[in-house]
Amino acid sequence: MLPVQPLTKEAFAPFGEVIECQGAENFAINKGFTQRYHKLASVALGQPDDAAIINVFRSQRWPHPVALTMVEQHPQGSQAFIPLDKQPFLVVVADKDTTGQPDKLQAFVTNGEQGVNYALGVWHHPLLILAKQQNFIVVDRSGSGNNLLEVDLPASKQTTLDINALVAQYLETN
Amino acid sequence: MLPVQPLTKEAFAPFGEVIECQGAENFAINKGFTQRYHKLASVALGQPDDAAIINVFRSQRWPHPVALTMVEQHPQGSQAFIPLDKQPFLVVVADKDTTGQPDKLQAFVTNGEQGVNYALGVWHHPLLILAKQQNFIVVDRSGSGNNLLEVDLPASKQTTLDINALVAQYLETN
């Protein structure tokens, strides 16, 4: 069973950016009526002709228990997830071993307002949510060539997530 | 007094993209647990070294009545606003006259879930909200050189918005 830790900028730094206002550079614009929390994340693009695009992901909760048997990465761009429904979600990432393959998994839970931006090439699990359904703004890359690598984890690195316990711990209602 | 019309893709097309799932290309990913509403908007960047960045704007409502006396544009990039609080907001844009200066103003109100992506170089008014405070994800451009042009409207093109009436009409509570 994979333990889940609260998401912080420090712990997530090797994998990308946490998108949150807390602690971010900010300044007033528009005659003082708007505070800009600036550059919480930057979109990385692999090729000169790539474009950053804005999408919505409408996600369903995976059944309990979640078997973590694979991860994916995007070799041509970063990918940001920002929750639209003020609910926490899970962020499962993997280190790279010396050959670039996924190594140890780590799981984080967001505070309901945080988003994440997976850096280009970071191994991560597909989106896992705690509520039954959640919508996200996703900012990622459009361009030519393959931008999705998926690998099955060797049995020694597979693990599970106790979704029922996480829902009970992190959601007020499910 | 400037009239306000509901925001639609068709009416807003000359100014940029409406970010909404309705009517958008979508397909299943992640073993069917996520529906991707694809490429609702694309980030435009003016220069090869520019980057798309993700920010949060925390905005306060302007006092009633709002005098529309100026507009701005970003000559080096698009700028997208996506609401995080499920509240409608106002989208005020201007056509260009034959010299590129702002011409007739138009105002739209979103349905609470819609976002917009102002195309590069489109004249628009700074963010105007109906709730007392609202947070937005903003996706825009980071790079060198000036990316903000502001112009005062000639008196003949200035107008006002009856914010009190709009709040009463479009917000359940204010």
pLDDT of residue A95: 97
Task: Choose among B21, B48, B60: nearest Cβ to A33.
Answer: B60
Cβ distance of B58 and A37 shorter than 8 Å: yes
Task: Choose among A40, A44, A58: nearest Cβ to B55.
Answer: A40
Q: What is the pTM of this model?
A: 0.97
Mean pLDDT within B106-129: 98
Residues of chain B whose beta carbon is less than 8 angstroms from a beta carbon of chain A are: 19, 21, 24, 29-31, 33-44, 48, 51-62, 80, 82, 84, 115, 117, 126-127, 137-139, 142
Closest B-chain CA to A25: B55
pLDDT of residue B121: 98
Closest B-chain CA to A48: B48
Check whether A65 has a pLDDT greater than 90.
yes
pLDDT of residue B172: 72
For B167, the enclosing helix (H) or strand (E) is helix B163-170
**Chain B residues inside the 8 Å CB shell of A127:** 30, 33-34
pLDDT of residue A15: 98
Mean pLDDT within B127-154: 98
Give the pLDDT confidence of B148-163 residue by residue, as tens digits.
999 999 999 999 999 9
The tokens describing B1, both together, are: 């007094």
Check whether A174 has a pLDDT greater than 60.
no
**Beta bridge partner(s), residue A134:** A59
The tokens describing B164, both together, are: 């009190």
> How high is the ipTM of this complex?
0.97
Give the pLDDT confidence of A50-59 residue by residue, as tens digits.
999 999 999 9
Task: Choose among B38, B54, B57: nearest Cβ to A139.
Answer: B54
CB A163 within 8 A of CB A65: yes
Give the pLDDT confidence of B91-110 residue by residue, as tens digits.
999 999 999 999 999 999 99
The tokens describing A154, both together, are: 């060797």
Peptide bond connecting B65 to the previous residue in cis, omega within 30 degrees of 0:
yes
Check whether B174 has a pLDDT greater than 90.
no
Give the pLDDT confidence of A8-47 residue by residue, as tens digits.
999 999 999 999 999 999 999 999 999 999 999 999 999 9
**Chain B residues inside the 8 Å CB shell of A142:** 39, 42
Domains of chain A by start residue, with CATH: 4-173 (2.60.120.480)
Confidence of residue A173 (pLDDT cuts 50, 70, 90): low
